[in-house]
Structure 1
Amino acid sequence: MQVDKHVIDQVNAVITIVLDKADYQEKVEKTLKNYRKKANVPGFRPGNVPAGLINKLYGKAVLAEEVQQLVGESLYNYIKDNQLNILGEPMASLDQPAIDFDTQESFTFMFDVALSPELTFTLNKKDTIPYYTINITEDMVNEQVKSMASRNGSYVKVDVAEEKDVVKGQLTELQADGQPVAEGLVVDDAVLMPAYVKEAGEKAKFIGSTVGQTVVFNPALAYDKAETELASLLRVAKDVAVTIESDFAFEIKEITRYQEGELNQDLFDAIYGKDVVTSEADFRERVKASIEAQFAPESDYRFMVDAKNVLLKKLSDVAFPVDTLKRWVLTTKKDQTEASVDADMPAMIEDLKWHLMKEQIVKENNLTVTDAELLETAKKVTRAQFAQYGMMNVPEDLLNNYAGDMLKKEESRQNILDQAMSAVVAGYLKGVIKLNQKSISVEDFNKLYA
């Protein structure tokens, strides 16, 4: 076997693999012997099929399979042993000679490869990159406090119904004269919220109603014959619900109202743990700090976007194997066209430059993500998920369990590892370049992406 690399230019090469009969013959013969032991050919017992017949039946397919496998292994090992940093995957060369497994004993395989260019750049304090810190306003704190209070509220019984209250009672189907229908529909413990009643006149009947009062209304009119709402209220199948047009008497037995939690010690304990926070001022400071923590990843992400825009200027003259990469994309992504690849290629090259630059930064500076850093990143993701539901005081053991489960899933683990490595690179960059610190409103921050 002979494997050679022919350099076309700095970023393109052709790897040629030449196989002679001696390279594959032993494997082919071994495979055919195994076929002979197992082959089920009419007229012959297993293991007694003539070798010539086995070769005639399976020889070409076995030869092709063994040669292809040997070529694949040889190509992979050559790239690995010679530490070739290639982009994409090797492709059959445009100059690949024809292969005929019926007549040839020596085979030549040629592969076009796109080589990663060598990057030369330096980073120092002359490189200035903006870092945006989002201002946390009183309105933002107030909104978060209101949200927390709302999520930690409770239902209380009231006497007079408002639009958003829950009205409970007994529904009784009525005749045209207002009397109950004999053996008609009766729903005990019926539940209704005026806010979801669609027809204004029917809704108004319940607003201001009181416990013990009986409200006569028409469900079909109230809900505009919406089968889902009617079926839920009347406790019947949807196809039955849409046929019911009678008035009903709703005897109100209970009215409940959701009451937001008050800013008191009970609320502080529910969110942060018993006696961790003991005053409204401390509570608001903690809320502000939690909002700042939620926005910190946004600032870091924007920092890396701006770092890319600034630092890639150092690589403006670096050549890339554009034509080879275009062919690779068209080969591997069947939904792409030449026009779409041409349109996407400039952005793809910029992303590729940034990826290679970050890889080189990691390699040259021995940057790594420790197991502890990986777990902490997973815990940050978990905390953020819990925080969306107002759960700020998640026990450490629960965080560890959730984070550990995330890291057991390959896709989740890779995503978290990417986040952790990005944070490591960002931390390194902050130490070697000059940060232009800027405070900014959340509205203006969002405009940066416009």
Structure 2
Amino acid sequence: MNVSLQNIDKVSAELTVKLEKADYQEKVDKELKSLRQKAQIPGFRKGMVPTSLIKKMYGKSVIAEVVNKALQEAVYNYIKENKVNMLGEPLPNEEKQQNIDFDTMDEFDFVFDIALAPEFKAEVSAKDKVDYYTIEVSEEMIDNQVKMYTQRTGKYDKVDAYEDNDMLKGLLAQLDEEGNTKEGGIQVEGAVMMPSYMKNDDQKAIFANTKVNDVLVFNPNVAYDGNATELGSLLKIDKEIAKDVKSDFSFQVEEVTRFVPGELTQEVFDQAFGEGVVKTEEEFRAKIKEEIAARFVADSDYKFLIDIRKVMMDKVGKLEFSDALLKRIMLMNNEEKGEEYVAENYDKSIEELTWHLIKEQLVESNDIKVEQEDVLKMAKDTTKAQFAQYGMLSVPEDVLDNYAQEMLKKKETINNLVSRVVEVKLAAALKAQVTLENKNVSIEEFNKMFE
């Protein structure tokens, strides 16, 4: 077997593989022998079918299979051993590749076109200035987090007069055109409403400062802007019928209920961050601020990588690629979408490929490696962040570990976690090498950068 590579230009080459009979015949004979031992053909005992018949029946397909496998191994090993920086995959040369006939040929020449990665150097230094945005943790964010904890230990109290967000309970009765209770009309005992959720402000205002035993007149259809689902739920009838009910209703208030948040106690502190970690409201708020700020670091690093991508793309400049070969590869991978898709998306794919190559160099030059412990930690951090969205800032380690182990059962999830680990490590390495232009921004300002 002979494998050789000839450069056509800086970004393309021809890979030639010559296979002689001696390179594959032993494996062919071995496979045919195996087939002879297993073959069950009428008129012959198992294992006693003549070799000539086995060759006639299976010889061509066995040779094709063995040759193709040997070819794949030869190409793979040559590229690996010679560290050929290939893009995509080898493509059969459209001009030099001979037609293969396994019936008449026993020596084969395969010629492949190979797209090579352009040579360039991706480096960062203190001369590179990159914006780094630190998201400020506002008092409102802290207040909202505190509120989540106090609501968990809150309770509902009965009160005399209605205020916004209170819940009303009472008798709901349909009225006729004269404003009297409609005979045979809709009546709902123990109807529950929260006027603050009504869509119409005028209807909502009817309930302001109402007290127990008050009787009010309002129009549910107007109040809820004709929403069939909400009307059906309130009137306890099918929503398709409810949407056509447009009469006024009386509502006799029987009960006004108000949610009262719980107190910030040591029990709440311990539930949030573990026993004895914080002991005062001031420490509690400071710890919440610290946790929120830590979660924002990932967002800041993500924006940093976007910005340093632009810096590096500008530094490296436009790279030379074998456009014809890469378009062939792109078309092969998107055959059902056709040449028009390739034409429309090629420039964007080259941009992404350029960043991929730059990123690969930066990862290699910074000796970034991903260990199993890194992936497990990322899985736990991801799980922890998901719990934090629901106000659970302190999750037991065994719970995090169980969730993480479930995530690691899926190959796609593992690949995503590995990519995130690489990005986290790369961001940390590059932040230490470039000059950071630190800027504090609000979460609103930060989010606008992605619009």
One-letter amino acid of the structure 2 residue matched with residue 419 of structure 1: R
Match of 1:356 among 354, 357, 360: 360
| 8 Å contact kept, 2:124–2:434 | no
1:35-50 correspondence runs (5 A)? none
Measured against aligned partners, the alpha-carbon deviations of 1:31-80 in whole angstroms (never above 9, x if no partner) come to 66777788899x87896998878767766555544433332233223323
In the aligned structure 1, how far is the partner of 2:250 from the partner of 2:383? 49
Shift of 1:448: 6.2
Task: Work out whether 1:142 is the aligned partner of 2:143.
Answer: no
* Percent of paired sites with the same residue: 38
Once structures 1 and 2 are overlaid, which stretch shifts more, 22-31 or 219-228? 22-31
| 8 Å contact kept, 1:211–1:255 | yes
1:263-274 correspondence runs (5 A)? 268-269=269-270, 271-273=272-274
1:273-292 correspondence runs (5 A)? 273=274, 275-292=276-293
Question: What residue is the counterpart of 1:379 in the other structure?
Answer: 380
Measured against aligned partners, the alpha-carbon deviations of 1:231-259 in whole angstroms (never above 9, x if no partner) come to 22233333343455565554433322344
One-letter amino acid of the structure 2 residue matched with residue 76 of structure 1: Y
Question: What residue is the counterpart of 1:18 in the other structure?
Answer: 18
- Partner of 2:296, secondary structure, is helix
Task: Work out whether 1:190 is the aligned partner of 2:187.
Answer: no
One-letter amino acid of the structure 2 residue matched with residue 86 of structure 1: M
In the aligned structure 2, how far is the partner of 1:398 from the partner of 1:316? 48
In the aligned structure 1, how far is the partner of 2:447 from the partner of 2:248? 52
Do the aligned partners of residues 83 and 159 (structure 1) sit closer, same or farther apart at CA in structure 2, a change above 3 Å counting? same
| 8 Å contact kept, 1:129–1:303 | no
| 8 Å contact kept, 1:169–1:252 | yes
In the aligned structure 1, how far is the partner of 2:147 from the partner of 2:311? 44
| 8 Å contact kept, 2:134–2:439 | yes
Shift of 1:376: 3.1
Do the aligned partners of residues 272 and 97 (structure 1) sit closer, same or farther apart at CA in structure 2, a change above 3 Å counting? same
In the aligned structure 2, how far is the partner of 1:294 from the partner of 1:448? 18
Shift of 1:319: 4.6
| 8 Å contact kept, 2:123–2:362 | no
- Partner of 2:417, secondary structure, is helix
- Partner of 2:381, secondary structure, is helix
In the aligned structure 2, how far is the partner of 1:121 from the partner of 1:176? 80
Shift of 1:215: 3.9
Question: What residue is the counterpart of 1:89 in the other structure?
Answer: 89
Shift of 1:305: 3.6
Do the aligned partners of residues 27 and 388 (structure 1) sit closer, same or farther apart at CA in structure 2, a change above 3 Å counting? same
Question: What residue is the counterpart of 1:2 in the other structure?
Answer: 2
Structure 1: tracts of 5 or more residues without a match: none
| 8 Å contact kept, 1:216–1:249 | yes
| 8 Å contact kept, 2:206–2:216 | yes
1:40-189 correspondence runs (5 A)? 60-95=60-95, 96-120=97-121, 125=126, 127-130=127-130, 132-134=132-134, 136=136, 140-151=137-148, 152-153=150-151, 154=154, 155-172=156-173, 178-179=180-181, 181-182=183-184, 185-189=186-190
Measured against aligned partners, the alpha-carbon deviations of 1:210-234 in whole angstroms (never above 9, x if no partner) come to 3334445444444344321222223
Task: Work out whether 1:394 is the aligned partner of 2:391.
Answer: no
- Partner of 1:206, secondary structure, is coil
- Partner of 1:408, secondary structure, is coil
Shift of 1:144: 0.9
In the aligned structure 2, how far is the partner of 1:407 from the partner of 1:356? 25
In the aligned structure 2, how far is the partner of 1:8 from the partner of 1:180? 92
In the aligned structure 1, how far is the partner of 2:176 from the partner of 2:309? 74
| 8 Å contact kept, 2:16–2:112 | yes
In the aligned structure 1, how far is the partner of 2:274 from the partner of 2:117? 54
Question: What residue is the counterpart of 1:413 in the other structure?
Answer: 414
| 8 Å contact kept, 1:150–1:259 | no
One-letter amino acid of the structure 1 residue matched with residue 99 of structure 2: A
| 8 Å contact kept, 2:319–2:354 | no
Do the aligned partners of residues 62 and 81 (structure 1) sit closer, same or farther apart at CA in structure 2, a change above 3 Å counting? same
| 8 Å contact kept, 2:135–2:296 | no
Shift of 1:427: 3.0
TM-score (norm 2): 0.79
In the aligned structure 2, how far is the partner of 1:46 from the partner of 1:158? 95
Shift of 1:112: 1.6
In the aligned structure 1, how far is the partner of 2:172 from the partner of 2:59? 82
Shift of 1:351: 0.9
Question: What residue is the counterpart of 1:296 in the other structure?
Answer: 297
Question: What residue is the counterpart of 1:426 in the other structure?
Answer: 427
One-letter amino acid of the structure 2 residue matched with residue 379 of structure 1: K
Question: What residue is the counterpart of 1:326 in the other structure?
Answer: 327
Do the aligned partners of residues 434 and 37 (structure 1) sit closer, same or farther apart at CA in structure 2, a change above 3 Å counting? closer
Measured against aligned partners, the alpha-carbon deviations of 1:145-169 in whole angstroms (never above 9, x if no partner) come to 2312432323433322334332233
Task: Work out whether 1:226 is the aligned partner of 2:227.
Answer: yes
In the aligned structure 2, how far is the partner of 1:428 from the partner of 1:242? 61
Shift of 1:129: 3.3
Match of 2:343 among 324, 339, 344: 339
Once structures 1 and 2 are overlaid, which stretch shifts more, 168-177 or 151-160? 168-177
One-letter amino acid of the structure 1 residue matched with residue 357 of structure 2: K
